[in-house]
Amino acid sequence: MTSLLDPKNDYVFKRLFAEAPDLLLALINDLRPDLPDITAVEVLNPNIEPAELAGKYIILDVLARDAAGNLYNIEIQVRRYGAWNQRGLYYLARSLSLQLEAGQDYRNLKAAVGIHLLDFDLFTDTPAHRNQAVWRFEMRDERQPEVSLGNILQMNLIELRKADQLQLSPGPMAAWVTFFEHWQEDLKMADISHAPVQQAMSRIRQLSADEEARRLAFVRERALRDEVSFLNEARDEGRQEGRQEGRQEGRQEGEVLLLSRLIRQKFGEMPDWATTRLRSATPEQLEIWTDRLLEAESLEGLLQD
């Protein structure tokens, strides 16, 4: 029997929802249960380019617009890196800022909503953090959170593993958590009666029976594994060189070596100005640039102050 593809593979995730707007509609509504349901959704980026599959620093997301014009960015993330939240906020704010052309009325702005499914625990510092898995961030006052600037800019996070362990109250959101965490377990999935999740399971079976889809899912999985391996190896080599030097200068050189290798891997050979900038940077700058590398779109953008 053919094993089922993992819906947390972002290629599979995008195929699953971008090709079935009705299923995407149900997912959006189910993951935002205390907000009014949307009634229609249009997928804005249905295609997957071949270069995206092998792009180690690319996350395949689903961009959509509802009937009222509100924009949605839906994505799944299986790995945590240093600046993932900055990246998410950047693209969310960008989708808001690009709506208007010069001279247009700000009142025409529609909401920009991020929905991120995280297959890792994000907030774990306190018992209260560890007992919450569903989060929504909006523009609210720090001292009086009931005072809000509205939800025109909104980030929704669902920590899948934590939500599964905490056992959310029965309902559509809990059904989706079970799907993403236990899609291969027949007994668990047999207990799920939520129709959209059953539809998602049917689509997973269809994709899993498609040899080309299986091949492309493997290509994507390999690219993501290569990214993690490369980052870990480069970081270890840089730290090892610093330890061998046994001095602050050696550790600094190791961090420069690490970042130089990562930059060459992503952007190609470095110009002289970038090499000079790296060698004159403080340890704090090097750490910031290393965390920023995954979401940087240009060398200039990466090495800005």
CA distances (Å), origin 248, targets 65, 255, 284, 288? 52, 11, 13, 18
Residues 173 and 292 grouped into a single domain: no
Residue 145 per-residue DSSP state: T
The residue segments making up the domain with residue 189 are: 10-209
Query: Does some domain include residue 245?
Result: yes
Last residue of a domain, one of 166, 187, 209: 209
Query: Does some domain include residue 228?
Result: yes
153-159 and 112-118 as β-strands: parallel, antiparallel, unpaired?
parallel
Last residue of a domain, one of 189, 209, 229: 209
Residue 136: strand pairing partners? 156
Helix (H) or strand (E) holding 118: strand 112-118
Residue 41: strand pairing partners? 66
Averaged over successive runs of 10 residues, the pLDDT of the chain (305 residues) comes to: 86 94 97 92 88 67 92 88 74 85 81 93 91 94 91 93 94 97 94 96 96 89 66 57 52 76 79 85 83 77 79
Tokens of 281: 């940077």
Residues 65 and 156 grouped into a single domain: yes
Residues 130 and 270 grouped into a single domain: no
Residues 141 and 251 grouped into a single domain: no
pLDDT attached to residue 49: 80
Query: Does some domain include residue 1?
Result: no
Cα 27 to chain centroid distance, Å, stands at 16
Asked if 5 and 12 touch (Cβ cutoff 8 Å), the reply is: yes
User: At 17, which amino acid appears?
Assistant: F
Residues 106 and 222 grouped into a single domain: no
Query: Does some domain include residue 194?
Result: yes
Considering only CA atoms, which of 76, 7, 78, 11 is closest in space to residue 216?
11
What does pTM read for this prediction?
0.74
Distance CA 249, CA 246 (A): 8
Residues 185 and 276 grouped into a single domain: no
pLDDT attached to residue 305: 67
Query: Does some domain include residue 74?
Result: yes
| Structural domain count, the chain | 2
Residues 100 and 224 grouped into a single domain: no
Last residue of a domain, one of 170, 191, 209: 209
User: At 192, which amino acid appears?
Assistant: I
Query: Does some domain include residue 2?
Result: no
Asked if 256 and 278 touch (Cβ cutoff 8 Å), the reply is: yes
